[in-house]
Amino acid sequence: MKPCIVFVGPDFAYENLNVQFSSKVHLVHPDATQQDVAKAMTGAVAFLDASMKVHLTNDMFANSPDICIISCATTGSDHIDREVLDKRGVQVRTLREDLDLLMNLTPAAELSWGLLMACARKIPSALEHIRSGSWNRELFPGIMIKGKQLGIVGCGRIGGWMARYANAFGAEVVGYDPYQEVLPENVRRVSLEELFEQSDFISAHVHLTEDTKEMLGAKLFNRIKPGAIFINTSRSGICDEDALLSVLLSGRLGGAGLDVLNGEPDISGSPLIAYARTHDNLIITPHCGGFSPDAVKLVCDRAMGKIMDKLNL
């Protein structure tokens, strides 16, 4: 009998993996709900996660005694409980260990820059204006990026790409990253406080850890340069969303572009969603930064390779 592997992710990625590996493993593709995933896991030996939509709980792992590896086609794994896995010595592998692959994956950085430009040029509200049958450009004054300052919080892979994009647009770039001894080319190191006080655009690219949880809080947002634009495509937990909403409501923050929200995918009670329904200066996308079929296939292949190695297949 072929070993069973549970895959949670997009259909096209499942089909691609099934073509490659169906001769050696039985790949199961449940709906991305806790109930369906938990049921599929009970007889599986491995789990490949390419969605992060389902919170994988200790109870789910306790009822899946044969699981020997969790392989994530993502850099984040904060949706996975570890207590049961740690007791059993089960590894949780992520793309953070695959720098050779990650350095050439740009979709998350591209979305970050796209959100920055969409906020600076008010693109979504201009589109809605045209759809309504109107034509008045004076309602949509844009911010010229050339000559402005971009502050990057977290100057790793994605932050490095953001610095390149900003340089190409003629912007000055400053960065804050206590873990990087050398910052990307043409990035000037500043304190986090200086970055918020001086930058016209701020883009956050930080992994969520105990050290980074709500690192961007009220004290910083209250010091943000008036009219600045804030971008977060990393993890919602690094940002105090109440503080962010406060500076949006006060008008101190010019705009924001977010690809992540607390509680996602259940965002029905999100105050930021409620704000975005009635205000044009907040753009929210559904955590789609890394969702490009070209990139997803590559990362799923890499994650699957780790499982095959673990199973000696």
Task: Please tell me whether residues 145 and 66 are part of one structural domain.
Answer: no
How many domains is the chain partitioned into structurally? 2
Task: Please tell me whether residues 70 and 134 are part of one structural domain.
Answer: no
**Vertex 173, ends 295 and 125: CA angle to 5°?**
65
Task: Express as a percent the part of the chain with pLDDT over 90.
Answer: 95
Q: DSSP 3-state assignment of 92?
A: strand
Locate 167 and state its tokens.
Answer: 């340089």
Q: What is the pLDDT of residues 99-158, one digit of tens each?
A: 899 999 999 999 999 999 999 999 999 999 999 999 999 999 999 999 999 999 999 999
Query: Using a CB cutoff of 8 Å and minimum separation of 24, what contacts does 79-85 make?
Result: 79/52, 79/54, 79/55, 80/49, 80/56, 81/55, 81/56, 81/57, 83/58, 84/58, 85/61
What range defines the domain where residue 123 resides? 106-284
Q: What is the pLDDT of residues 68-91, one digit of tens each?
A: 999 999 988 988 999 999 999 999
Q: How many CB atoms lie within 10 A of CB 76?
A: 17
- Whether the predicted pLDDT of 7 surpasses 90: yes
pLDDT of 113: 99
Task: Please tell me whether residues 120 and 254 are part of one structural domain.
Answer: yes
pLDDT of 287: 93
Confidence of residue 265 (pLDDT cuts 50, 70, 90): confident
Task: Please tell me whether residues 114 and 200 are part of one structural domain.
Answer: yes
Q: What is the pLDDT of residues 147-166, one digit of tens each?
A: 999 999 999 999 999 999 99
Confidence of residue 301 (pLDDT cuts 50, 70, 90): very high
Lowest mean pLDDT among 6-10, 50-54, 83-87, 210-214: 50-54
Task: Please tell me whether residues 44 and 78 are part of one structural domain.
Answer: yes
CATH code of the domain containing 305: 3.40.50.720
Confidence of residue 286 (pLDDT cuts 50, 70, 90): very high
Task: Please tell me whether residues 205 and 298 are part of one structural domain.
Answer: no
Task: Please tell me whether residues 156 and 170 are part of one structural domain.
Answer: yes
Q: What is the mean pLDDT of residues 203-217?
A: 96
Task: Please tell me whether residues 222 and 262 are part of one structural domain.
Answer: yes
Task: Please tell me whether residues 186 and 94 are part of one structural domain.
Answer: no
- Confirm whether 82 is a catalytic residue: no
Q: What is the mean pLDDT of residues 234-241?
A: 96
Tell me which of 93, 207, 235, 302 is the catalytic residue.
235
Task: Please tell me whether residues 214 and 275 are part of one structural domain.
Answer: yes
- Confirm whether 287 is a catalytic residue: yes
Q: Where are the beta strands (DSSP E) in 235-302?
A: 255-258, 282-284
Locate 285 and state its tokens.
Answer: 């996308």
pLDDT of 197: 99
Tell me which of 264, 277, 279, 302 is the catalytic residue.
264
Tell me which of 93, 205, 287, 302 is the catalytic residue.
287
pLDDT of 78: 86
Task: Please tell me whether residues 11 and 94 are part of one structural domain.
Answer: yes
- Whether the predicted pLDDT of 53 surpasses 90: no
Q: How far apart are CA 276 and CA 161, in angstroms?
A: 28
Confidence of residue 241 (pLDDT cuts 50, 70, 90): very high
Contacts of 144 (CB under 8 A, 6+ apart): none
Per DSSP, helices labelled H in 174-270 are 192-198, 218-221, 241-250
**Vertex 188, ends 164 and 180: CA angle to 5°?**
85
Task: Please tell me whether residues 301 and 189 are part of one structural domain.
Answer: no
pLDDT of 52: 85
